[in-house]
Amino acid sequence: MSYLKPVLRWAGSKQRLLPTLAAKMPAEFNRYFEPFAGSAALFFAVRPERATLSDINGELVNFYSLLRREPEYVYRRMISMPRTQSAYMDAREAFEASEDRWERAILFWYLNRHCFNGLYRTSRAGKFNVPFGSKLPPLPEWEQVRKCAARLRRASVKSADFESVISSAESGDFSHVSNGSMYSMIPSALSCSYPSPQTRPTARSASPVQPEKYELTGHRCSFGGSDADGGENSASE
């Protein structure tokens, strides 16, 4: 099956796991949540009717918010920039200095497509400091961008933490999470049930969360995800 590719590169993207993840999702669900959005690969692939994408990275959320409003403008500006190391370093400086949200969205996308391995990393001072990539993949085609923007317009996109987003999940909803991101939040965010104490994940755990059924504010919500090493966990209801 051919899936719509995301417009961003992202460390930890689940692009290569899409067939497995999509196959293990519930056959039906009400709302789709992705609280660690990143490149949102599964969201773009499965095309949920009702969705909430969220992330604590405000630059990522700003980019998605503006791409869905004016995709052609953002795209044409991004692809017009030179794909050289000197242009990349200039873009890093401009990204740091700019206070215009449109300019920051364009620069964010350019940096993402040209940095090392799709990383988003900042210094303690909050400055983006990822080096220029040694191998640059092709830029997305306009038709791909247009389709991604159209799907984004059908979703709620917000800058928020995991707990505040998932607290609104209800019975029949589905959330896609990266377990590596979720481990450290489980004690405060979720009331979890596990077959034995040995299966309870911790911030240092490298094994998948099993089973993936969590009780949230009195409701049951299905979860599906992949572990920190790129393995996948089945969704359960």
Domain boundaries, the chain: 15-236
Cα distances (angstroms) measured from residue 88 to each of 32, 74, 108, 115: 35, 17, 11, 8
Alpha-carbon gap, residue 220 to 213, rounded angstroms = 7
Residues 33/26, Cβ–Cβ less than 8 Å:
no
What are the structure tokens assigned to 193, written together?
């049930």
Q: What is the pLDDT at residue 224?
A: 60
- CATH fold for the domain made of 15-236: Adenine-specific Methyltransferase; domain 2 (1.10.1020)
Q: What is the pLDDT at residue 10?
A: 92
154-177: per-residue pLDDT in tens? Answer: 999 999 988 888 888 888 999 888
Q: What is the pLDDT at residue 189?
A: 34
Q: What is the pLDDT at residue 226?
A: 54
**Cβ atoms < 10 Å from Cβ of 155:** 21
Task: Report angle CA 70, 75, 78 to the nearest 5 degrees.
Answer: 130
Q: What is the pLDDT at residue 223?
A: 60
**Cβ atoms < 10 Å from Cβ of 76:** 13
Alpha-carbon gap, residue 68 to 150, rounded angstroms = 7
pTM of full prediction above 0.85: no
Residues of the chain with pLDDT under 50: 180-219, 227-237
